[in-house]
């Protein structure tokens, strides 16, 4: 079978105005480079979970042994369960794709780059809620952010991993 690879893509990187402030983070060079060989499928965990556009900005907090998404300005706003439920609804889609390209540092999309606030005031880095879901349930799925893929060597390596997975058949892992 020789189908075009499919990549899930943070919608804001594709230029869609889905960010909390109603803006986007279009990455035209990356979109062009990956769009040459793959179908790019937009998704936005926060808009998808119904948080709205625009919406209150959120951040991740370590709380009672779990990671919670809370409002930056309103700590009482906690959409964690809604975003988790949306992530679970993407399972069938995730099983059909060959990789994910996600926005760095986002509390939903960041791959090991989302700030995590601890009760003692420390700040560490972790996966955003969607990236964590992908890593937990599809650990072999190639995943990278737009900052990593600015490096031509990393971009070429990611492309090879995606093509390899596509040759083996999506959802193999």
Q: Kindly state the number of chain residues that form the binding site for ligand SF4, as judged by CB under 6 A.
A: 13
Specify the stretch interacting with ligand SF4 by CB under 6 A; choose among 4-12, 69-77, 89-97, 132-140.
4-12
Using rule CB under 6 A, residue 141 touches ligand SF4: no
Beta carbon nearer to ligand SF4, 19 or 165: 19
Beta carbon nearer to ligand SF4, 147 or 163: 147
Q: Where are the alpha helices (DSSP H) in 11-128?
A: 28-35, 45-48, 80-89, 91-94
Structure tokens at 129: 């809620």
Say how far apart CA 149 and CA 18 lie, in whole Å: 22
Say how far apart CA 26 and CA 31 lie, in whole Å: 8
Using rule CB under 6 A, residue 46 touches ligand SF4: yes
Instruction: Name the phi and psi angles at 155, rounded to 5.
Output: -65, -45
Using rule CB under 6 A, residue 146 touches ligand SF4: no
In the region spanning residues 84 to 123, those forming contacts with ligand SF4, defined by CB under 6 A, are 103, 106, 108-109
Question: Rounded to whole angstroms, what are the CA distances from 31 to 11, 28, 52, 102, 136?
Answer: 11, 5, 25, 12, 26
How far apart are CB 29 and ligand SF4 at their closest, in Å?
Answer: 17
Which residues contribute to the site for ligand SF4 (CB under 6 A)? Answer: 10-12, 18-19, 44-47, 103, 106, 108-109
């Amino acid at each position: 079978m020789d189908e075009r690879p499919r990549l899930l893509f943070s919608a804001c990187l594709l230029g869609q105005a889905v960010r909390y402030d109603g803006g986007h983070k279009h990455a035209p060079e990356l979109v062009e480079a990956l769009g040459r060989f793959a179908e790019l499928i937009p998704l936005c965990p926060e808009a998808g979970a119904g948080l709205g556009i625009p919406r209150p900005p959120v951040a991740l907090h370590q709380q009672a042994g779990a990671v919670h998404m809370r409002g930056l300005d309103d700590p009482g706003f906690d959409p964690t369960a809604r975003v988790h439920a949306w992530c679970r609804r993407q399972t069938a889609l995730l099983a059909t794709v060959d990789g994910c390209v996600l926005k760095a540092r986002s509390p939903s999309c960041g791959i090991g780059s989302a700030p995590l606030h601890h009760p003692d005031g420390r700040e560490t880095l972790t996966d955003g809620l969607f990236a964590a879901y992908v890593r937990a349930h599809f650990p072999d799925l190639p995943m990278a952010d737009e900052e990593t893929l600015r490096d031509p060597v990393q971009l070429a390596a990611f492309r090879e991993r995606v093509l390899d997975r596509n040759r083996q058949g999506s959802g193999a892992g």
